[in-house]
Amino acid sequence: MLELVDVTKKYEFGFPRSGVPPGDAGDVCVLKGITLKVAKGQSLVIVGPSGSGKSTLLNIIGALDRPTTGRVLLDDRDLAQLGEMELARIRNQEIGFVFQLHHLLPQCTVLENVLVPTLVRQKDGGLVDKRDLRQKVQQRAIELLQRVGLEDHLLHRPGELSVGQRQRVAVVRALINRPRLLLADEPTGSLDEKTSQSIADLLVELNRSEGVALIVVTHSLKVASRMGHVMELADGLLRDRSQ
């Protein structure tokens, strides 16, 4: 379903650095020829030290950034070659995102926050009865919130929830449009150990029940131990730690 072929990412800062030839003075190569394959429904975790490029790699996979060279294939479509409108559609309908910070809208209820990604889809619904579509997506939102233990918090606002509850809402929001790929960037980074394990267990359970491919970036080895396949990003290279 997802394949990375010799992906590199280089940043040019434009200032000289000690010991670096003048022509390459501002170049910093974060990713060096990354190759990766992810099958439908597979789960894997990417670990590595801070600053190793984990978030950069996830942003490239999620079409939030483009590689300097190489290909990112999602169902044989090279994301690096697509226009911004098509990438926006893919991000909305085919890829779900969970970040370290939940990014919930403070003025909206839990249910409203979960439904935000569906608004674009309803707008572009075409011949589909929009009232019927609204009812279906709202029912899915309620069912997902029930599965994560938030059935009694549908009308609460983020400020009335614990940090762990807010992150559960963020997970449900990422799944509302039935994505085929779920990306989680340090989803437990701001949580205590008990809540972190709870969120990790939730991601694993939803990976299985929803059939969504899952890629988690984390620096926590305890969270990594809950995932099926572990890879390490260090010095710009991605290595398999499960073997």
CATH code (residue 190)? 3.40.50.300
Residues 13-39: pLDDT tens digits?
655 554 555 555 567 899 999 999 999
Asked, for residue 147, whether it belongs to a domain, the answer is yes
- Is the Cα torsion angle 9, 14, 19, 21 positive or negative in sign? positive
| pLDDT tens digits along 204-228 | 888 888 889 999 998 888 888 877 7
Q: In the predicted model, what is the mean pLDDT of residues 132-159? A: 92
Share of the chain above pLDDT 90, in %: 61
CB 153 within 8 A of CB 161: yes
| pLDDT exceeds cutoff 50 at 127 | no
What integer is the mean pLDDT of 189-193?
81
Whether residue 140 is contained in a domain is answered as yes
Tell me the whole-structure pTM to 2 decimals. Answer: 0.85
Does some domain include residue 18?
no
The DSSP secondary structure of the chain, one letter per residue, reads: -EEEEEEEEEEE--S--TTS-GGGTTEEEEEEEEEEEE-TT-EEEEE--TTSSHHHHHHHHTTSS--SEEEEEETTEEGGGS-HHHHHHHHHHTEEEE-SS----TTS-HHHHHHTTHHHHHHT-TTS-HHHHHHHHHHHHHHHHHHTT-TT-TT--GGGS-HHHHHHHHHHHHHTT--SEEEEESTTTTS-HHHHHHHHHHHHHHHHHH--EEEEE-S-HHHHTTSS-EEEEETTEEEE---
Least confident window among 35-39, 101-105, 120-124, 234-238: 120-124
Say whether pLDDT at 151 is over 90: yes
Judge whether 190 lies within some domain: yes
Amino acid letter, residue 147:
R
Q: Which of 93, 92, 35, 41 is nearest to 236 (CA)?
A: 35
Query: How far is the C-alpha of 121 from the C-alpha of 149, rounded, in Å?
Result: 26
Range of the domain at 169: 41-67+81-240
Identify whether the C-beta of residue 181 lies closer than 8 Å to the C-beta of residue 174: no
Indicate whether 11 pLDDT > 90.
no
What's the pLDDT score for residue 121?
Answer: 60
The total number of structural domains in the chain stands at 1
In-domain check, residue 223? yes
User: Which whole number is the average pLDDT over 180-188?
Assistant: 91
Q: Is 87 within the bounds of a domain? A: yes
Contact by Cβ (8 Å): 68, 9: yes
Q: Is residue 56 part of a domain?
A: yes
Question: Which residues are CB-contacts of 107 (< 8 A; sequence separation ≥ 6)?
Answer: 157
Output the CA–CA distances (angstroms, integers) from residue 85 to 64, 98, 188, in the order listed.
12, 22, 31
Mean pLDDT on 126-135: 65
Residue 109 lies in a domain: yes
Residue 59 has pLDDT above 90, yes or no: yes
pLDDT, average across residues 137-142: 94
CA atoms of 88 and 75, how far apart (whole Å): 16
- Reported as a pLDDT band with limits 50, 70 and 90, residue 189 is confident
